[in-house]
Amino acid sequence: MIEPIARVKISLTSDCNLRCAYCAIDKERGERADVPALMAALAPLLRAGGRVALVGLYGGEPMADYAAVSAIIAKASRLAGRLGKELRFSMATNGLLLERRHLRFLRSREVEVCISVDGPRRDERAFADGRGSFEAVAEKLKLVFAEMPGRKLTALQGVHPGNAARFEENFRAVLGLGFTNVNLEMIQGPPWNEQARGAFVRGFGAARRILLSRAASASPIFLHSVNRALAAAAGTAIAPAAELLPSGERSPAPYPFAHLAAGSRASLAAGARMVECRDRLSRRLAQELLSRRGARAYRVEAARRGLSI
């Protein structure tokens, strides 16, 4: 029997145009999306689930294979139509390969586009030749914000031991780019220690003050982890996600870690604890937001913006 799944995360390729220092994906694997196999794996998951399902596309860099992105979205939408289901799509991308025609397609399918921007320093997310990607992404965002509604755009701010001390600076830089949705991605794999954890907790305190102040001035910022906490407080259960590899196989782990040896996986435990830390701080912040004036409007808008991958 296939268990009901509300979210399906699909890795489309191991290929990528960046070489972020912390990335666990082996770009030389040459894995590409097998669209028929992915659709064969997706169909029973969608049939078994509830009325609404989230499908998150990622990679590597999914836009390295736009044909697969557009095919999966079109085919899954047709299937959902036949099943009488509502599908919501999101895509995690570094944004650099997006063109106007892609953005128009993604907007027409109401895809939430989640763009990785960790911070402005050149060593945050680099090209193979060592150049930082922040300025190139900032330039690309002019087109992205012109073509997509802001509520469908999310910044994926990667937080790892090497940049935890710059969390506030990076968060402010992300907001300075125009994002009003931020997904704090606690990078798993690099060695988190007490010092880095403390730096993240202090930085989250600064982000908390910004969120409370922006909510009070009716120009709110939404953190995905806070949105999830609000959804849980409202009694909306978040079902676990199924992971599909580019080959269409189910994976017990997210794609970046699917190929790691068992010994390496053990080192991910510290990263998993940071996810719990973020979620605990987010639950507290959600409670604070709910106790403030304008809480109802905030919660309604948070729910409208939904949850991504």
- The sign one gets for the Cα dihedral 242, 248, 250, 253 is negative
Among the listed ranges 37-45, 48-56, 57-65, 217-225, the one in contact with ligand SF4 (CB under 6 A) is 57-65
Q: Binding residue for ligand SF4 (CB under 6 A) from 5, 8, 12, 25?
A: 25
CA distance linking residue 57 with residue 69, whole number of Å: 8
Least Å distance, CB 81 to ligand SF4, is 31
Interface with ligand SF4, residue 286, by CB under 6 A:
no
Judged by CB under 6 A, the number of residues near ligand SF4 is: 12
Query: 100-132 in b/e burial notation, b at 16+ Cβ within 10 A?
Result: eebbebbeeeebbbbbbbbbbbeebbbeeeeeb
Least Å distance, CB 5 to ligand SF4, is 24
Least Å distance, CB 127 to ligand SF4, is 10
Residue type, 114: C
Q: Which CB contacts under 8 angstroms, 24+ apart, belong to 293-301?
A: 293/216, 294/215, 294/216, 294/218, 298/215, 298/220, 299/230, 299/234, 301/220, 301/222
Q: Binding residue for ligand SF4 (CB under 6 A) from 49, 59, 120, 189?
A: 59
Interface with ligand SF4, residue 60, by CB under 6 A:
yes
Interface with ligand SF4, residue 61, by CB under 6 A:
yes
Site string (3-22) toward ligand SF4, x via CB under 6 A: -------------x-xxx--
Do the Cβ atoms of 72 and 109 come closer than 8 Å?
no
> Where does this chain bind ligand SF4 (CB under 6 A)?
16, 18-20, 23, 25, 59-61, 94, 116, 125
